[in-house]
Amino acid sequence: MRIPGWLVRPLIGPDAVRFLTQGFPTTNDRFGRAVDWSPRYPSVREGFAAVVDRWLERDLLDPRSEDGDAWQEPSAPERASVAAAATENANPE
């Protein structure tokens, strides 16, 4: 949902409207260097392929379905495993 700036300006002020509607003066490279971060995969295509491979390994994606992309709901242990891996990846030691 998009709300016009002129409508919210009286509520949140002109500075907040300007901050929320103007571009951010940075690049992905500059941001990555500033926070010492780099993506795990060099491209979206490679990252997506890795995700699909992981789903296939865990039988979460059924390639035998008619359209090839039937989602299989993960079990509670699988969800816990994914959550633990995400937490571990977010907070590397």
Whether residue 40 contacts residue 34, with contact meaning beta carbons closer than 8 Å, is answered with: no
- Higher-pLDDT residue of 79 and 5 is 5
Whole-prediction pTM value?
A: 0.40
Report angle CA 92, 46, 34 to the nearest 5 degrees: 45
pLDDT at residue 67, rounded to an integer: 60
Q: If you write DSSP's letter for every residue of 59-81 in order, what string do you get?
A: T-EETTSTTS-EE-PPPHHHHHH
Give the model confidence (pLDDT) of 2-57 as tens digits: 888 889 999 999 999 988 888 877 787 888 888 988 888 888 999 999 998 888 88
In this structure, the dihedral spanned by the alpha carbons of residues 7, 13, 14 and 18, taken in order and rounded to 10 degrees, is -90
pLDDT at residue 72, rounded to an integer: 62
Q: Domain residues of the chain, as ranges?
A: 1-38, 42-93
Both tokens of 6, joined, read 């002129």
pLDDT at residue 68, rounded to an integer: 56
